[in-house]
């Protein structure tokens, strides 16, 4: 499925117009839903009038056959109404689910395009809330909204006309009450909207807290902080409960007000009708019919109240959906971006400066970096924590945008290269390996989703992981658990390396890939890494200097920039920062 709505429209159109656009893929279901809704309203309107006709014309004349024929016809009408109600309930909800699915796809697709800075500032649980529960409310609005509105309007207009036909005085009583109901709805709508928006925000916050607590549950146990985490969760739950209480209170005032007016209206109509019967200005059949129409008149009022409720809830969710859709990626393809197939891999930094903050006064993480990383060679980056080693590497696949200067690959500014094709040429092995809660096979295949099983196995063998995998009861179908919890650190790293073997990129970035491993495991994985780096442009961020002695070029990076550059032997002869770091690790 492709994106269903042009994202540029989110800056140009009003939210309601954007919402309506999502119906265009389900026009047939929408038309069917509306036809059935009109049919339901018609049956409800005809029932009191047909009852009045039968009671007035057939019973007094003792035309019992005709009377029961009318009763049979009404029974058939109610059977038809039941069929229509099934269509509205099932197919209407299905239409709403289709719209929700497309919105969810558009939102997830858009989120995938957003840049690292967005995810640096946004909690996972908040995004999950916007993708799941908030969009569910849109299903109810997409289905019940138009349907309830059509049924209500037809019923109100039809019932009002019928009431005036029966008795003008009673019709005026109901007509005069309508503005009161509308006024109540308008006055309470804003409060209901605010309460609904606040509830959505509270829901997102508690979802974020749940995601955070569950993700860090092992850490909580390790530090014995379960009670503290429970207390934090209870505080969020209390705020969520307060938000729901506020919403329910507003909703209760709304519904109580509407129901009270409808009840007073019904009672007033019966009292007035009884008074006019006493004066022989109304007969009992007309009063019965009128009372039936009061019920028909009251139902759409209740439906409008329900519509107001789902509209506020659904639109609150939709507005938060639009809010995310309006977020522009910090990094996007330029017009006429160049598609690159397979690069040679020469990387050049020219006057590169970078800061994570857009504030002009913010401290630079990197300042005026000039650097050439030769194609097919290995370049290692060392230096103290916070010197910008990882940031330097993150600029190569354009995870972040440079503040000034340029990064080039094979002489082409990476800002002129199509982002997807740029990243296809780069493989990354990080210190913190992320594994999906799927099989080992699918986790390795993530390096190349189109690869067959044999290619996956070859990649695992190159990463020295195949024999271990085959020793498992389920082999490559073994589920690794959340974030690969069933595997050791070394095993997770080998799967990460296997992914890159499968991807087979010309540029390789190793971000402290072995720093968290023990020496024995590190030495085993080092062989896989050397095999992986062979013939590729490799950039290695190293914590343990023993792993980079064979590098063609070593950079010592600190807060001032590149302080030293050369081979291991050259830097040792300088007896500078690299030499001191090397000496410290040997002690």
Distance CA 586, CA 584 (A): 5
Last residue of a domain, one of 262, 295, 325: 325
Tokens of 112: 């995938």
252, 182: one domain:
yes
517-526 pLDDT, tens per residue?
Answer: 666 666 667 7
Contact 476, 439 (CB under 8 A): yes
**How many Cα atoms sit within 13 Å of 256 on the Cβ side?**
6
Work out whether the CA dihedral 349, 353, 358, 360 comes out positive or negative: negative
Range of the domain at 76: 14-325
Residue with tokens 């003008």: 168
189, 131: one domain:
yes
Contact 404, 350 (CB under 8 A): no
Q: Is residue 411 part of a domain?
A: yes
- SS3 assignment for 320-364: HHHHHHCCCCCCCCCCCCECCCCCCCCEEEEEEEECCCCCCCCCC
155, 225: one domain:
yes
Distance CA 314, CA 295 (A): 28
218, 351: one domain:
no
Distance CA 32, CA 420 (A): 42
Under 8 Å CB-to-CB from 220, ≥6 apart: which residues? 213, 226, 228, 229
Q: Is the pLDDT of residue 73 over 70?
A: yes
**In the structure, what pLDDT confidence band is assigned to residue 4 with cuts at 50, 70 and 90?**
low
319, 351: one domain:
no
* CATH number, domain with residue 261: 1.20.1560.10
The residues that bridge with 347 in the sheet, in sequence order, are 373, 409
321, 351: one domain:
no
Q: Is the pLDDT of residue 320 over 60?
A: yes
Largest CA distance in the chain: 122
Contact 145, 297 (CB under 8 A): no
Q: Is residue 489 part of a domain?
A: no
Contact 498, 427 (CB under 8 A): no
How many domains is the chain partitioned into structurally? 2
63, 200: one domain:
yes
Q: Kind and range of the H or E element at 285? A: helix 284-325
Q: Is residue 164 part of a domain?
A: yes
Tokens of 460: 């695992």
Mean pLDDT of all residues in the chain?
80
| 530 Cα distance to chain centroid | 40
**In the structure, what pLDDT confidence band is assigned to residue 412 with cuts at 50, 70 and 90?**
very high
- Over residues 525-532, the mean pLDDT reads 76
348-384 pLDDT, tens per residue?
Answer: 999 999 888 777 666 788 888 999 999 999 999 988 8
Contact 463, 501 (CB under 8 A): yes
Q: Is the pLDDT of residue 328 over 70?
A: yes
Distance CA 569, CA 581 (A): 14
Q: Is the pLDDT of residue 216 over 70?
A: no
Distance CA 205, CA 129 (A): 8
Of 218 and 52, more confident: 52
Q: Is residue 119 part of a domain?
A: yes
316, 397: one domain:
no
Q: Is residue 240 part of a domain?
A: yes
166, 250: one domain:
yes
Q: Is residue 103 part of a domain?
A: yes
Q: Is residue 57 part of a domain?
A: yes
Distance CA 478, CA 469 (A): 8
- pTM of the full structure: 0.69
Distance CA 435, CA 446 (A): 10
Contact 165, 158 (CB under 8 A): no
Residue with tokens 């740029």: 422
Last residue of a domain, one of 259, 290, 325: 325
373, 320: one domain:
no
65, 159: one domain:
yes
Identify the DSSP state of 369. E
Q: Is the pLDDT of residue 417 over 90?
A: yes
* CATH number, domain with residue 543: 3.40.50.300
Q: Is residue 442 part of a domain?
A: no
Q: Is the pLDDT of residue 164 over 60?
A: yes
366, 250: one domain:
no
């Amino acid at each position: 499925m492709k994106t269903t709505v042009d994202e540029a429209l989110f800056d140009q159109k009003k939210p309601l117009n954007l919402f309506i656009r999502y119906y265009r893929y389900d026009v047939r279901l929408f038309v069917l839903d509306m036809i059935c809704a009109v049919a339901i309203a018609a049956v409800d309107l005809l029932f009191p009038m047909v009852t009045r006709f039968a009671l007035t014309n057939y019973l007094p004349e003792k035309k019992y056959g005709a009377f029961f024929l009318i009763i049979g016809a009404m029974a058939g009408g109610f059977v038809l109404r039941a069929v229509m109600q099934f269509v509205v309930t099932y197919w209407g909800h299905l239409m709403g689910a289709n719209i929700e699915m497309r919105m969810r796809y558009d939102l997830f697709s858009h989120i995938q395009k957003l840049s690292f800075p967005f995810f640096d500032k946004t909690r996972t649980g908040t995004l999950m809330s916007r993708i799941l529960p908030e969009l569910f409310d849109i299903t109810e609005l997409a289905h019940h909204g138009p349907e309830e509105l059509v049924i209500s309007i037809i019923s109100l207009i039809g019932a009002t006309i019928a009431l005036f036909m029966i008795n003008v005085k009673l019709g005026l009583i109901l007509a005069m009450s309508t503005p009161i109901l509308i006024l109540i709805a308008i006055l309470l709508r804003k409060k209901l909207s605010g309460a609904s928006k606040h509830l959505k925000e509270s829901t997102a916050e508690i979802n974020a807290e749940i995601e955070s607590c569950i993700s860090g549950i092992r850490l909580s146990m390790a530090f014995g902080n379960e009670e503290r985490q429970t207390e934090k969760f209870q505080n969020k739950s209390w705020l969520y409960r307060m938000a729901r209480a506020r919403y329910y209170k507003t909703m209760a005032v709304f519904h109580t007000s509407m129901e009270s007016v409808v009840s007073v209206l019904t009672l007033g109509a019966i009292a007035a009708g009884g008074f006019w019967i006493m004066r022989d200005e109304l007969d009992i059949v007309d009063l019965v019919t009128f009372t039936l129409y009061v019920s028909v008149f009251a139902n759409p009022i209740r439906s409008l109240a329900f519509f107001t409720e789902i509209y506020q809830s659904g639109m609150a969710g939709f507005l938060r959906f639009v809010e995310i859709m309006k977020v522009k990626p910090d990094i996007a393809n330029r017009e006429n971006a160049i598609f690159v197939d397979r690069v040679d891999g020469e990387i050049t930094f020219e006057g590169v400066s970078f800061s994570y903050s857009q504030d002009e006064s913010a401290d630079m993480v990197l300042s005026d970096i000039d650097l050439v990383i030769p194609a097919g060679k290995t370049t290692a980056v060392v230096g103290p924590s916070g010197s910008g080693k990882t940031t330097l590497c993150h600029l190569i696949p354009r995870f972040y945008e440079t503040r000034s200067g340029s990064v080039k690959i094979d002489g082409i500014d990476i800002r002129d290269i199509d982002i997807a094709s740029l990243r296809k040429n780069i493989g990354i092995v990080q210190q913190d390996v992320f594994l999906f809660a799927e099989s080992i096979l699918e986790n390795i295949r993530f390096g190349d989703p189109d690869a067959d099983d044999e290619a996956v196995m070859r990649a695992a063998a190159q990463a020295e992981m195949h024999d271990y995998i085959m020793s498992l009861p389920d082999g490559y179908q073994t589920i690794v658990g959340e974030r690969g919890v069933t595997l050791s650190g070394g095993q997770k790293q080998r799967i990460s390396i296997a992914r890159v073997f499968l991807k087979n990129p010309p540029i390789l970035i190793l971000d402290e890939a072995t720093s968290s491993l023990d020496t024995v495991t590190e030495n085993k994985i080092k062989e896989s890494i050397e095999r992986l780096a062979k013939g590729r442009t490799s950039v290695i961020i190293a914590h343990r200097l023993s792993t980079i002695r064979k590098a063609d070029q070593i950079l010592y990076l600190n807060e001032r920039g590149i302080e030293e550059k050369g081979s291991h032997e050259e830097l040792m002869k300088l007896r500078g920062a690299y030499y001191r770091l090397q000496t410290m690790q040997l002690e």
